[in-house]
Amino acid sequence: MDPMAAGEAVEGAFLAAIAENAPVALRETLGLGVTRVDGVTVLTVRAGIPMFNRAVGFGAPVTAGLLDRILDVYRAAGVPAAVLKLPPPLLPADWAELCAARGLVPLPDSVKVTRSTAVPPPIRTALRVGPLPAAEERDWIDLVMSALDPVPHLAELMPGPGRDPRGSRFAAWDGDEMVAAAQLFTHGPAGVLKSGVTRASHRGCGAQSALIAARVTAARAAGCEWVVSETSVPEPGERHTSLRNLERLGFARAYDYRSVRWENRA
């Protein structure tokens, strides 16, 4: 499997795990479901967390028929809106026309990066970095959530080692204080880096670079060939710390996602 296909497959598996590993009662409360349409993972949430209405994991050329089948899933689920994230190499020449006909509105692009699981370069940091002990899971969740806008039930929905063996968590500590957090999710030949967060007091200390290296090493140990990640597109002249950290660890920019938003006007 080539890096693009492997990377999109692991993104789809991560999204699907949100629904597949959620407690049954919570799935029913949120109207949470996952459907696969020609290999694309389509997550639907009727209530509470509209940001999770996403379609990812495109592995074949995008057609009008594929778009229509995905949007039919969202209509049937009764969701208010959804976001589709697509790799540009899979888009047809008439992509703009397909979007206009379906009311798909472009969103800001994001950068997809990839690297092999070859041994990463050494990272120098005074922080202690390693896998998350089970006893510190609550601290890890609190740290990750502190960097996000409030998301109901996020702690119960994030794929983690207690609910899915493909998810593993890492942290960095200054003494006994947890100052950075990160996650790895593996599926088949690829792993995806998620949830990279550092306390403001410890930015610039090498925490995220060390956590990237730790997760690449863990993905290699899990049998993965590739690791992928995603970050925002840098503005002209911007000192983009996240992208710079990834590139320093051997990641290469693969493509900029084309994301579009659909609104249910029924």
Rounded-to-integer distance, Cα 1 and Cα 189, Å? 8
Rounded-to-integer distance, Cα 167 and Cα 160, Å? 5
Q: Nearest 10 degrees: CA dihedral of 237, 243, 246, 247?
A: -30
For 46, half-sphere exposure in the C-beta direction (CA atoms, 13 angstrom radius) is: 13
Rounded-to-integer distance, Cα 227 and Cα 217, Å? 10
Tens of pLDDT, residue by residue over 199-222, are 999 999 999 999 999 999 999 999
Q: In a 10 Å sphere around its CB, with 0-12 CB exposed, 13-18 middle and 19+ buried, how is residue 2 labelled?
A: exposed
Tens of pLDDT, residue by residue over 53-88, are 999 999 999 999 999 999 999 999 999 999 999 999
The CATH topology of domain 116-255 is Aminopeptidase (3.40.630)
Q: How many residues does the chain have?
A: 266
Split at pLDDT 50, 70, 90, the class of 48 is: low
Residue 234: per-residue pLDDT: 83
Return the domain boundaries, the chain. 3-110+257-263, 116-255
Residue 22: per-residue pLDDT: 87
Average pLDDT for 183-187: 97
CB 120, CB 129: distance < 8 Å: no
> What is the maximal distance between C-alpha atoms in the chain?
56
Residue 101: per-residue pLDDT: 98
